[in-house]
Every structure is written in structure tokens, then in C-alpha cells.
């Protein structure tokens, strides 16, 4: 791929956005390649966890390519926005956990990509923000939708309409990221979480993620109905039988043989 580095290590697929000369800014080509790369890993039976990161030490993704956006009219912007939204939906709806390894700037579209991931780990130098209003536009890849659900409406309102940047520590305080680690420990920390996840049942992981995200906009009653139905169906799977038998037999479960 032209804009991405792809590697696969011990069941973990790592996708690195590789445009360090422009702080890994997203153009239409990167959007297309990232959608394809995540989809490919979803279909790859050798991969159980996906990590997204950016090349270099300065940026995860510093946003969309402003020079490219400057040339867009409304029709172009609609196409670009829809492509970006589809990309974030592929990430969010992945049955395999997607971990954002956020190194440096995660602004605009970069923040929105991180928001679509299931787990976000930040390096100490990470910076988050939705600064689109500074350009006279708004987030277009899900920032107005996902950020309030993760950090609450009041904080999301402030971040989006001020365009302010926040530090990794502040992002952790408000629940935007799960952990903050040293820059040189970022990828290893994400891989360690990935190794823990890989010990668990892949169907159970996928169904857990599905229940969580399907219930975002449901009442508690409707969400519980989704959950209990999925809970019951898993009992008929070989995975569940192996997990419970292994527990009773006091051994490690073998879910991925």
C-alpha cells in the first residue's frame, strides 16, 4: 500500500499510517487504504486483534489534509465525509477489537479515528482535539456523534465548539483514553493488551462488542433484551463449551486451535 505499513505478529495485526512528512494527515487515498486494511484483517483468521497507529513520534493522525480539503466544493466534501464515516464504521463495527496507539497529535479526523476504536492508549506526548470550527467547518467523520457518548455531552460541547486541544493526561481524566504510557512503551503496551484479549473466546469478544455498540441508542430495557439474547445463543457454541469445561477442569481454554 502507498500510505500504510502493515505487519502481522502473533495474532495481532498492526496498521501504521505512514505520511510522517505531513504528520500522517488523511487524504482520500489514506481513507481508502485504511478501510481496506482493516477489512482485510477482519477477514484474516490469523488475526484476532488490530492496532492502529501513526508513523514517527509527532503524530497519530494530525487531521485531514487541509490543502486537499481547500480545493473541495460541497459535493466533493460530501463524498469525502461519507468515505471517512464509512471508514470509521468499519473500525467501530469490527468483530475484532481495534486498539488505537495514539502517539502525538490526534486532531480532527485523527481524533475521530481514535474515537471509533474500541480501546485508546495514548503516549505521554499525545494531544487530542476537534479543531474544525477554527476552519469554519465541523467534524465530519463522527466527532459530533461519538465524542459525547464517550466523554459526556458537556465536555464534548466544549471541545468541539472551542476547538481546544487537550493533553494525554486530560484525555485520560475525562475518559477519552484508557491509559497513558511512555512514548517508547506505547506499541508494546498495546500488544500486551492484545495478548490478554487473544486468550479469550473470539465469538464472545465479537458478541460483547456488538452488544455494547448496538445498545448505544436503545433504552436500558431494549439493550438488556439484545444482551440476554446474545448471552443465551453463545451457550450453544463450541467456544462456550470449551471455556466452561476448561474452567471446571482447571486448565487454560484453547479457543483458537
Contact 109, 142 (CB under 8 A): no
Distance CA 225, CA 215 (A): 10
CA distances from 170 to 82, 109, 143 (A): 30, 19, 18
Contact 132, 139 (CB under 8 A): yes
Contact 255, 200 (CB under 8 A): yes
Identify the bridge partners of residue 51 per DSSP, sorted by sequence position.
14, 99
Q: Is 242 assigned a catalytic role?
A: no
Catalytic residue among 2, 86, 112, 242: 112
Catalytic residue among 2, 57, 124, 132: 132
Name the nearest CA neighbour of 117 among 3, 125, 128, 66.
Answer: 128
Q: Is 132 assigned a catalytic role?
A: yes
Q: Which residues are catalytic?
A: 112, 132
Amino acid at each position: 500500500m502507498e500510505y500504510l505499513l502493515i505487519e502481522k505478529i502473533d495474532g495481532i495485526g498492526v496498521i501504521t499510517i505512514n505520511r510522517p512528512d505531513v504528520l500522517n494527515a488523511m487524504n482520500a487515498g489514506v481513507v481508502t487504504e485504511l478501510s481496506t486494511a482493516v477489512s482485510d484483517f477482519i477477514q484474516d483468521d490469523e488475526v484476532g486483534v488490530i492496532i492502529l497507529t501513526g508513523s514517527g513520534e509527532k503524530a497519530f493522525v494530525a487531521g485531514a489534509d487541509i490543502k486537499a480539503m481547500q480545493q473541495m466544493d460541497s459535493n466533493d466534501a460530501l463524498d469525502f465525509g461519507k468515505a471517512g464515516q464509512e471508514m470509521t464504521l468499519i473500525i467501530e463495527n469490527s468483530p475484532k477489537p481495534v486498539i488505537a496507539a495514539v502517539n502525538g497529535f490526534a486532531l480532527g479526523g485523527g481524533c475521530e479515528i481514535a474515537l471509533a476504536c474500541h480501546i485508546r492508549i495514548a503516549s505521554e506526548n499525545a494531544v487530542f482535539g476537534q479543531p474544525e470550527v477554527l476552519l469554519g467547518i465541523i467534524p465530519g467523520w463522527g466527532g459530533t456523534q461519538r465524542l459525547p457518548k464517550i466523554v459526556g455531552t458537556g465536555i464534548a460541547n466544549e471541545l468541539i465548539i472551542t476547538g481546544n486541544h487537550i493533553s494525554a493526561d486530560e484525555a485520560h481524566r475525562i475518559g477519552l483514553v484508557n491509559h497513558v504510557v511512555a512514548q517508547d512503551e506505547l506499541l508494546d503496551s498495546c500488544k500486551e493488551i492484545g495478548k490478554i484479549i487473544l486468550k479469550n473466546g473470539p465469538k464472545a469478544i465479537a458478541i460483547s462488542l456488538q452488544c455494547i455498540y448496538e445498545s448505544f441508542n436503545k433504552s436500558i430495557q431494549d439493550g438488556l433484551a439484545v444482551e440476554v439474547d446474545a448471552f443465551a445463543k453463545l451457550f450453544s457454541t463450541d467456544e462456550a463449551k470449551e471455556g466452561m469445561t476448561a474452567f471446571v477442569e482447571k486448565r487454560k481454554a484453547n479457543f483458537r486451535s
